[in-house]
Amino acid sequence: MRSLVIILFVLLPFTNINAQDEVIRLSEPVTITEQYETFGTVLELGNDENIISLDEAIRQSGSDQEFIIKANVKQVCAKKGCFFIAEGESAEARVSFVDYSFFIPTNSTGKEVLFKGKLEEKILSTEQAKHYAEDVGEDPKLITKEQKEYAIIASSVRIPKTK
């Protein structure tokens, strides 16, 4: 028994107990500054009047226009950063990326980001909703029917380097 305890203490530092803490970065940023990284295409802001909240974008939805949106990242796909859940004051939207041409780092949860994209309302099948739930670490068994969601296809995402 004593040998087993010694072996465990010797091997413990070499195990990855916090595998979920590993950051996955499958895309390189197109812009890097001291304050932020931008993924996808370069994000041209102009002035602050062009930036709207997620809630405002949802109120204006129905048009085919692109918005520059400021929102918090509620969750990120833990497998590869292929989408995130943007959270506003009273609404959420799933943000994926044009033609899956880029991804964001999986440690972006909790950050306030800017992104440019088109918003639409979608109905997810039960299978799609379960798949997305699993990708963000939720229990897919809790999904029992199709889900309505707001979806944004983003061409650019600017992520601050600190929370």
Decide if pLDDT at 106 tops 90: yes
Residues 23-160, CATH architecture: Beta Barrel (2.40)
pLDDT digit string, tens, across residues 115-132: 999 999 888 888 888 888
Decide if pLDDT at 91 tops 60: yes
8 Å CB contact between 74 and 90: no
With b for 16 or more beta-carbon neighbours within 10 A and e for fewer, the 84-100 pattern comes to bbbbbeebbbbbbbeee
Tokens matching residue 24: 């996955």
pLDDT digit string, tens, across residues 136-157: 778 888 888 888 889 999 999 9
The mean pLDDT of 1-21, rounded to a whole number, is 47
pLDDT digit string, tens, across residues 79-90: 899 999 999 999
Q: Give the pLDDT band of residue 5 (cuts 50, 70, 90).
A: very low
Of the CA atoms within 13 Å of residue 14, those in its CB half-sphere come to 5
The mean pLDDT of 100-125, rounded to a whole number, is 94
